[in-house]
Amino acid sequence: MSADITLSQEIFNTIVSYYDGYLTAQYDTLMSSFKIFFRSVLIIWLIYCGYKLASNKEESWFDIIKTFLLVLVVYTFVLETDAYRAWIVNPFIGWVNDLCIFFARGESSKLFSALDKQALFFMDHVGKLWPSGWNPLDYFIAAVAILVMYFMFFVMFFAFLVIYTISYFSLCIFFLVGGIFILFGCIKATRGLFFAWLRHVFQFALTIIFASITLGLSFNGIKQSIAKIPHLDVSNIFTFDYLSLLAWCAITIALFLKSPDFAAGLTSTMAGSTAGIAGAMSTAAGAGAAGVAGGTASGAAGAVGAGAWLYNNRKDLGGGIRDLGSSATQALKDKIGIK
């Protein structure tokens, strides 16, 4: 095994090799099956364009010929050669991985090898923080403090792995079906599908890159904090440097969970990955709290229905009742969290 390969990198390489084999087998099968469907769509589109030409509905021969030639080129590129994988998929994933390594500030040419080395650096330095005396109480207090540091660090480490793994394999899944959307992008009527696919590809790629930027920034701060703690003073254990180490880890976890939001903001998509899971959990918790505050679900539904009736019939009621119904409905919506 190469010196650049560690346990995490070996596991990741194994998973990627399985995926590459699956992609090679499934992509060819998928696109072979898709050929018939796409040819049918192209024929229907040509018939539709011919109908528009015959009806003088602002369709030009130039646009039809241009689209048809584009379809021929892309069809050959995607379905008849290996250029899609060789020129698009592999370079794009390699570019994302190179940026991750660069921003993570790893000394290894492999991302997970660099992460393992950072974790080993952390464990090596934290292992030197034990007190020099032989007092059992001092050792107990130091053990608790070190366990807290380990917990915060590896929660941060695990959060990055979750973000990276989900985004990476989501990216791979989108590339698996990418040939279909590239072909749809040749036809004006279905071009929106291609741009939606492209935005999500960049969203997952940017999520990985933003998480790597956060990792590189935070680990630099963690190393500086550790270097300032030569040993744990049990008489004054909660020093600024110790707390700053925990703060770095906590802030990094929060930024990891925000990485999908950063990527979604740039690509005009909805945030996914772990942030989506966390958002769903917080939404469910908020809905539960709103249900408790507002009473039972049936009572809330009846109140909303009554408010809706008042709103729909506000013209037949007096001005005072109209205002009362509208304000009551809005107050109820605000209370149970309906916007």
Tell me: pLDDT of 184 over 70: yes
d(CA 30, CA 236): 64
Looking at the structure of the chain, the number of domains it has is 2
DSSP string, 61-116: HHHHHHHHHHHHHHHIIIIISSHIIIIIIHHHHHHHHHHHHHHHT-SSSSHHHHHH
Who's near 70: CB < 8 A, 6+ residues apart? 186
Whether residue 197 is predicted with pLDDT greater than 90 in this model: the reply is: yes
Query: Domain end: 242, 258, 284, which one?
Result: 284
The DSSP annotation for 219-249 comes to HHHHHHHHHT-SS--GGG-S-HHHHHHHHHH
Q: Is the pLDDT of residue 140 over 50?
A: yes
Residue 164 lies in a domain: yes
| Token output for 222 | 């963690």
319 and 211, same structural domain? no
- Given a cut of 80, whether residue 232 has pLDDT beyond it is no
Query: How confident is the model over 296-318, as a mean pLDDT?
Result: 42
Instruction: Indicate the pTM of the whole model.
Output: 0.71
Answer whether 328's CB lies under 8 Å from 309's CB: no
Question: Do 111 and 159 belong together in one domain?
Answer: yes
The DSSP string of 108-168 is: SSSHHHHHHHHHHHHHHHHTT-S-SS--HHHHHHHHHHHHHHHHHHHHHHHHHHHHHHHHH
Per-residue pLDDT for 335 more than 50?
A: no
Do 222 and 331 sit in the same domain of this protein? no
Full residue range of the structural domain in which residue 305 is found? 295-336
The answer to whether 258 and 275 are in contact (CB under 8 A) is yes
Q: Identify the pLDDT of residue 241.
A: 78
Average pLDDT, the chain: 76
Q: Examine the domain organization and report whether 277 and 299 are in the same domain.
A: no
Question: Are 29 and 63 members of one domain?
Answer: yes
Compute the average pLDDT of residues 198-213. 93
Are 301 and 253 found together in one domain?
no
- Asked whether residue 289 is assigned to any structural domain, the reply reads no
